[in-house]
Amino acid sequence: DPHRLIDQASGWFDQGGGDFRSIHNYFFKLRFRKEERVQALTEFGGFCWRCREHSMSGKVYGYRIYGSRRELSAGYGRLMREVASHIGEGLSVTVYTQLSDVEEEVNGIYTYDREVLKIEEEVLAEWNEKCRILHSWDQGKYRISKDKEYQSVCAPGKGGGAGDGSGQDASGADREVPV
């Protein structure tokens, strides 16, 4: 299927294959370089706060430990400010680690039992919106690889409504299509 995107070495030694330059970074200063492929931060974050009543284990593992939901949310906001500052340098994809706690790894956005959203909802919404706005593609087009060029059909200047070329499906959600 020539329309499927390939992440050849998710976070491992990048040999230039696939459609993504996939980066896992928990500790080092973020750096991006000019590249034909999509630059994707496919693992980052890993910030911890253990919510005792909703944890599977008494152990705590993660990359930075916080003592409260408020502290975790503030740390996430600082991290996202740093990550968002690289969008203009070619960063196109981010995947926060991780969606939910897994046993002693309490670095999820949700607790182990998925009952508690650990990062304040307003903070998550704010950074999702900021990053979405920052990703307005240059003249509505971006290149996945030498062979795959896509057009962001939700580019500035396009109208709204499904079926009118606006870039929205019937539900009103944005979509992207091959050129």
Instruction: Give the tens place of pLDDT for each residue, 44-55.
Output: 999 999 999 999
Q: Which two tokens stand for residue 74?
A: 């503030």
Measure the CA–CA gap between 111 and 106, rounded to whole angstroms.
Answer: 7
Query: How large is the average pLDDT for residues 100-116?
Result: 94
pLDDT of residue 41: 93
Predicted confidence at residue 31, as pLDDT, reads 86
| Whether the predicted pLDDT of 166 surpasses 50 | no
Mean pLDDT of the region 153-160: 34
Instruction: Give the residue, 62 or 123, on which the prediction is more confident.
Output: 123
Q: How confident is the model at residue 133 (pLDDT cuts 50, 70, 90)?
A: confident
Q: Are 132 and 119 in contact (CB under 8 A)?
A: no
Report CA-CA distances (Å) from 80 to 13, 68, 73, 96, 127: 25, 18, 10, 10, 7
Provide the whole-model pTM.
0.73
Nearest to 117, CA basis, from 84, 81, 72: 72
Q: Any bridge partners for residue 100, and if so which? A: 110
Residue with tokens 């926060």: 96
Residue 136 is predicted with a pLDDT of: 55
Ranking 48-57, 80-89, 114-123, 141-150 by mean pLDDT, the lowest is 141-150
